[in-house]
Amino acid sequence: MAAQTETATRRTVLHVGCGAPNPNKLHPTFRGDGWKEVRLDIDPDVKPDIVADIVDLSPVPAASVDAVWSSHNVEHLYAHQVPTALGEFHRVLKPGGLALITLPDLQTVCRYIAEGKLEEVLYQSPAGPIHPIDVVYGHRASIGRGNRFMAHRTGFTAKTLGAKLVRAGFRPVRVRRKGFDLWAVGHKPAGDPG
């Protein structure tokens, strides 16, 4: 009976664009016994729990997860797809749930581009060195190896990301800069069943 109670009290985080299994990809907020990760990715080769595109989360029931974690996914969409994806994040969240999203901060990166540093290393990532041109168009080394999912098709500033989250129904929304990334937290209002 204790196992049933423990399972019932665990919250679920939908890890969209999860990539290959790696517990370190899950944000620390969602690690530990209090959370259950459900992995979702468009690429079946990474063996997600759910194979789906973030613009169509129809395999995930409405109001079924407590949180959505999206790390460097939304920039891979075309601009016209972003409202749909954010709307899907909102739809699958339980009332009172939250979306935690991180993605590149084009405003910060463009300062380097304006200084002529288009192909200078900004930082080292697990995928290798990242240059301003990679932030704008996608990680060139990964794309060169045939991973077309790594292409970037849109970008954001803190202002535009926040506005898109509000239009998707999230309230409150907080967006902050950290290094070369934006970090956004959007809440689905407690009284919002949709």
Give buried/exposed letters for 6-20 (b at 16+ CB in 10 A, else e).
eeeeeebbbbbbbbe
Q: How many domains does the chain have?
A: 1
Q: Is the pLDDT of residue 84 over 90?
A: yes
Task: Report the distance separating Cα 105 and Cα 93, nearest Å.
Answer: 25
44 in a structural domain: yes
pLDDT tier for residue 149 given thresholds of 50, 70 and 90: confident
21 in a structural domain: yes
The whole-number average pLDDT for the span 94-106 is 98
Please give the pLDDT value at position 7.
Answer: 52
% of the chain with per-residue pLDDT over 70: 95
124 in a structural domain: no
132 in a structural domain: no
126 in a structural domain: no
The whole-number average pLDDT for the span 144-149 is 90
Structural domain boundaries enclosing 83:
2-104+154-187
6-20, 46-60, 166-180: least confidently modelled range: 6-20
| Helix locations, 18-157, DSSP H | 82-92, 106-114, 132-137, 140-144
% of the chain with per-residue pLDDT over 90: 88
18 in a structural domain: yes
Q: How far is CA 104 from CA 5, 7, 14, 158, in A?
A: 40, 35, 21, 10
176 in a structural domain: yes
Looking up residue 82, the CATH number of its domain turns out to be 3.40.50.150
Phi, psi of 68, deg, nearest 5: -120, 130
Tens digits of residue pLDDT in 16-35 = 999 999 999 999 999 988 99
52 in a structural domain: yes
Please give the pLDDT value at position 22.
Answer: 92
